[in-house]
Amino acid sequence: MITSVLVANRGEIACRVFRTCRELGIRTVAVHSDADAHALHARVADTAVRLPGAAPADTYLRGDLIVKAAVAAGADAVHPGYGFLSENAGFARAVLDAGLVWIGPPPDAIEAMASKTRAKRLMGLKPLTDVTEADLPVLVKAAAGGGGRGMRVVRHLADLDAELAAARAEAASAFGDGEVFVEPYVENGRHVEVQILADTHGTVWPLGTRDCSLQRRHQKVIEEAPAPGLAGELEEELSALAVRAARAVDYVGAGTVEFLVADGRAHFLEMNTRLQVEHPVTEAVFALDLVAEQIRIAEGHPLDSTPPRARGHAVEARLYAEDPSRDWSPQTGRLHRLALPEGIRLDTGYTDGDDIGVHYDPMLAKAVAHAPTRTEAVRKLASALGRAVIHGPVTNRDLLVRSLRHPEFTAARMDTGFYDRHLPDLTEPSPDPHAPLAAALVDAHRRSRFGGWRNVPSQPQTKRYAMAGQEHEVRYRHTRTGLEADGVRVVHADAHLVVVEVDGVRHKFDVTRYGDQIHVNATALTALPRFPDPTTQHAPGSLLAPMPGTVVRVADGVTAGSAVKAGDPLLWLEAMKMQHKITAPVTGTLSELCVVPGQQVEPGALLAVVTETF
């Protein structure tokens, strides 16, 4: 019997595993980097062990340190979560060699399937070797790990070598393994996967399908179960292939077999020998706790001869601290508030007041809705996200709501090219036009004896705010009857709530301020000073760091004085385990290059200046 579990991971998945352990009466052990010393997963565990350093290679990828931590903390089992070492056969063997229980598949099964190249050969497929123009487009893919890291779409043969090098570097940084391979890139297919669960007694459950087609940078954004609109014969084929893959390697535990579905055919992608990020939708539909099942299987308990029946539909959305309108750039800073309405499952590694750092994935939480039908589940999740209170850095919340309400998604006609087609429309700013007025009225209440009688009307007051990249000026005045603004009747205003009437319709605004940052319902604003600070002005053509990170390399041949074309890559920033390409904004001359490889930069730091050629 397992009595104490160390989770060799961090953030949301560590908290998720700990939750089940507590329900089963199992003691929990966390490991944490220095950057995660005060993270939620380290706080909620019964015991926490420090891994010195911040970079994954020094901490969560150090299997030797994690095994030592488990032994020192008295754990008798290790759960790997997902990512990091979850598909590392060497780590699994080290856990077993230390006399600990490994809550995962046998190392040999991991070895056979965790490398996507070996998995394809096992399923009778081969990666491309000598790529020609006729093979394009192709996908460069990391052999280890997942989450979209180490993946590149190549459409021009001249770009292949550079993209191979970039994918190797990103894969090595994220997984400790720089092996990559090349396969044909199927445009606009559906990403469909099958959850399996296998015990040590020969029983394998196929637990239905999931659709994970809505992706950015090959990383899933919205997932659902079951995958909608599949023909019955195709569903049976997918389940049969998944069971075949599991039996081929004597699989044990939870795993996922992934496919690309196009033209009614299933193309095998890979088998993930671990729990998936999107496992909650399967849990909701089958009324299962997959983590509890993993633990029971690790203890040797058998599964029933047949899996439970599926009921209803579930949809999950991944909430990221990122700006989709700025090339999905990750965001950092203080998460002041995160709350969703009741009836929605929220899996997160953050609580109010936590800081979102630069070292790890920018996912804040997963929101999951379950309902009798797909239509009801999608509507329920979209409404809950729209009403969620999220105060802090920019997130993809608006994108999620619009995606869930998009006609292609509601009609289940989505594919992996969804965001390539619709991103500009989905990220078009649509802030509430009355948000600046609501912010100004709350500020007026705080600064004056609001509601006091005045014999003479006051002079108009002016406030300036930045909202959705534009400056907005608000004018209002104190009158004998209260506050007044052009065309708007102020019904109520206090330190947090504003009610205004426009053309006979009342609108309510909840207003919260953190320094210069103001949240009015779902709209974020920044209070601006009356007079701009001239020291913050930058020359035209200035390239500023969109996020905190490390300059990992400068493009070959690029130096001050180089001629560049709009869109040419100039340098790469690494932040949150991803590399972000910084390109020339205009055609002209690189008049200044202000950084060097290895340099740490903060948001807004000047990277380079390109002088446009007219």
Taking only the tens place, the pLDDT of each residue in 249-260 is 999 999 999 999
pLDDT for 531 equals 60
Per the CATH hierarchy, to which homologous superfamily does domain 190-426 belong? ATP-grasp fold, B domain (3.30.470.20)
- % helix, strand, coil for the chain, step of 5: 30, 35, 40
pLDDT for 286 equals 98
- Residue 179 class from Cβ within 10 Å (0-12 exposed, 13-18 middle, 19+ buried)? middle
DSSP 364-388: EEEEEEEESSHHHHHHHHHHHHHH-
CATH of domain 435-527: 3.30.700.40
Helix count and strand count (H, E) for the chain: 15, 38
CATH 2.40.30.10 for domain 536-612, yes or no, is no
- pTM for this prediction: 0.84
Query: Annotated catalytic sites, by residue?
Result: 274
User: What residues contact 1, with CB distance under 8 A and at least 6 apart?
Assistant: 299
- Residue 92 class from Cβ within 10 Å (0-12 exposed, 13-18 middle, 19+ buried)? buried
Query: In this predicted model, what pLDDT tens digit does every residue of 302-341 receive, in sequence order?
Result: 999 999 999 999 999 999 999 999 889 889 999 999 999 9
Considering all CA atoms of the chain, what is the largest pairwise distance in Å, rounded to the nearest integer?
87
338 three-state secondary structure = strand
Domain ranges of the chain: 4-103, 114-184, 190-426, 435-527, 536-612
Task: List C-alpha distances in Å: 432 to 132, 454, 472.
Answer: 51, 31, 12
Q: Shortest CA distance to 223 belongs to which of 318, 290, 154, 159?
A: 318
Same CATH fold assignment for domains 114-184 and 435-527: no
Amino acid at 331: Q
User: What residues contact 117, with CB distance under 8 A and at least 6 apart?
Assistant: 127, 143, 179, 181
214 three-state secondary structure = strand
pLDDT for 530 equals 67
Query: Which architecture characterizes domain 114-184 according to CATH?
Result: 2-Layer Sandwich (3.30)
Query: Which architecture characterizes domain 4-103 according to CATH?
Result: 3-Layer(aba) Sandwich (3.40)
Q: Answer for the pair 29, 53: CB distance below 8 angstroms, yes or no.
A: no
Orientation of helix 290-298 relative to helix 279-286, angle to 10° = 90
- Run of H or E including 575: strand 569-575
Distance CA 598, CA 601 (A): 10
The pLDDT averaged over each successive group of 10 residues in the chain (614 residues) is 98 98 98 97 98 95 98 98 95 98 97 80 78 89 74 90 89 83 84 98 98 93 97 96 95 96 89 96 98 98 97 98 91 95 97 93 96 98 97 97 98 95 94 93 75 55 88 83 78 93 93 95 89 60 83 91 92 79 90 91 88 85
